[in-house]
Every structure is written in structure tokens, then in C-alpha cells.
Amino acid sequence: MHPILNDIRLVAFDLDGTLIDSVPDLAVAADAALAELGLTPQGEARVHDWVGNGSLTLMARALEAALGGAPDEALLARAHRGFLDHYGRVPCARTRLYPGAREALAALAARGLPLALVTNKPSAFIAPLLEAFGLDGHFALCLGGDSLTAKKPDPAPLLHVAAHFDVSPSACLMVGDSRHDIAAGRAAGFRTLAVPYGYNHGEPVALSRPDGTVESLAELV
């Protein structure tokens, strides 16, 4: 076991960019929503840097790039509905599990550690994705970006998880790919572990100074 797990009694995982490489399907849905509005698709490489603050912000960034300026609220609402519709129909055609993710979750669960999923993705997409990869049995609690009134980098979802399992935040670990995961973890009083292979707005996640980094989740266990 990785030394950061010493004294840890609960592990919270981020989803996009940490457990699953979901950008290929997110980009298809975002581009389809733009195309429906007669706007230029932005492509996977750009979507890669826009993921992390939930689907509404993703579409706000995509619209801003396509229009060359901030969208009005009505257009953003339409684009977001389009995205939710497309992604809901095809959330998992090209999405892949990262190497080591399945083994890490299984090994932590086998140790009896409660596992939580804390993503900024809309909660409706969590179950279909976890089921597609056969991971739905591992998480005792899953929170999406719309589950509470605040999402990462706000510490609220992590504090909710710690309280739910009655574990002190100092005995909890947040594992994620972005500065929002590390900021939320730090603000909640969790230990933080980063993976460098995910989505972090084009910046190394090490700049957020997590307590530890693993190249692959396999290193955790």
C-alpha cells in the first residue's frame, strides 16, 4: 500500500480524468450541441482543457470559444440542454478506464475502506458510467456536481462524505486529477493525492501542491 494510505479510513475519488478518460465522449456531445446551434465544433483537444467545473461551465467555455465572446443565458441554456441530451444518449462509446483504476478500487474495497465518488459531473451520468465498467458495486456514496448546492473546489461535497461515514476529515483521502480536487480536499481537511494524466486546464496538477502524486492508481495499492 502507498504510504499516504497510512491512517486513512475513507477514500474519495474524482471521476473524469482520474478513473475514466471520458473526454472523447464529452467532446462529441459538446460538439454536437454546438453544431445544432450552427456553431463550429471545437474538438477534443480544447474540450480536454475545459472539463472540471461541471457541464454548464464546459458549455459556457465551448460557446465562448465558438462565438468569440461570452454567450447570453438563453443560448447557454440551449447549448447545455443539447449537451445533456447527446451525452445522456452516448456517455460511454469511446470512454476508457485508466490503467490501474479497477485494480486500485478492488484492492481498497477488499481492505474494507469505504469508497466515495465525488465528481462535478451531473449525477445522472454517474450510474450509467460506473455500470458500463462494472464499478458500481465499489462506491458506498456517489455525489455529482448537482447533488449539493456547492461543488468542488468548494469543500462541501467532501465534508458531506466525511460526515456521512462519520470519519474525521483528517483520516480521509481525496484522489483527483485537477486543482479543484486538491483545493476541495485541502479546504475540507482531507489528505490529497493527485494523478498527473487527467484534465487540469492545461496546467500540471503538481502546481496545486497535493500531499502526494502517483503516476498510475496501481501505485496506490
Please report how close the Cβ of residue 137 comes to ligand PGA at its closest, in angstroms: 19
Size of residue set near ligand PGA by CB under 6 A: 14
Do 98 and 212 meet the contact criterion of CB atoms below 8 Å apart? no
Would you say 7 is a known binding-site residue?
no
Beta strands in 57-165 (DSSP E): 96-97, 115-118, 141-143
Size of residue set near Mg ion by CB under 5 A: 5
- The answer to the question of residue 157 lying near ligand PGA (CB under 6 A) is no
Residues in the chain: 221
Give me the residue whose beta carbon is nearest to Mg ion: 17
14 included as an active-site residue = yes
Would you say 211 is a known binding-site residue?
no
Residue 42 binds which of ligand PGA, Mg ion, none (CB < 5-8 A, kind-dependent): none
User: φ and ψ at 6, to 5 degrees?
Assistant: -55, 130
What is the Cα–Cα distance from 221 to 218, expressed in whole angstroms?
A: 6
My answer on whether omega of the bond before 91 falls inside 30° of 0, hence cis, is no
Please report how close the Cβ of residue 97 comes to ligand PGA at its closest, in angstroms: 14
What is the Cα–Cα distance from 29 to 91, expressed in whole angstroms?
A: 8
Q: Which of residues 79-138 bind ligand PGA (CB under 6 A)?
A: 119-121
Choice between 3 and 141, CB closer to ligand PGA: 141
Beta strands in the chain (DSSP E): 10-13, 20-21, 96-97, 115-118, 141-143, 172-176, 191-194, 212-213
- The answer to the question of residue 185 lying near ligand PGA (CB under 6 A) is no
Q: Which of residues 164-183 bind ligand PGA (CB under 6 A)?
A: 178
Q: Which of residues 160-179 bind Mg ion (CB under 5 A)?
A: 177-178
- The answer to the question of residue 16 lying near Mg ion (CB under 5 A) is yes
Of 216, 156, 218, 166, nearest to 189 by C-alpha is 156
Site string for ligand PGA, 4-43 (x = CB under 6 A): ----------xxxx--------------------------
What is the Cα–Cα distance from 7 to 84, expressed in whole angstroms?
A: 40
Would you say 16 is a known binding-site residue?
yes
Q: Which sequence positions are flagged as catalytic?
A: 14
| Known binding-site residue numbers for Mg(2+) | 14, 16, 177
Interface with ligand PGA (CB under 6 A): 14-17, 51-55, 58, 119-121, 178
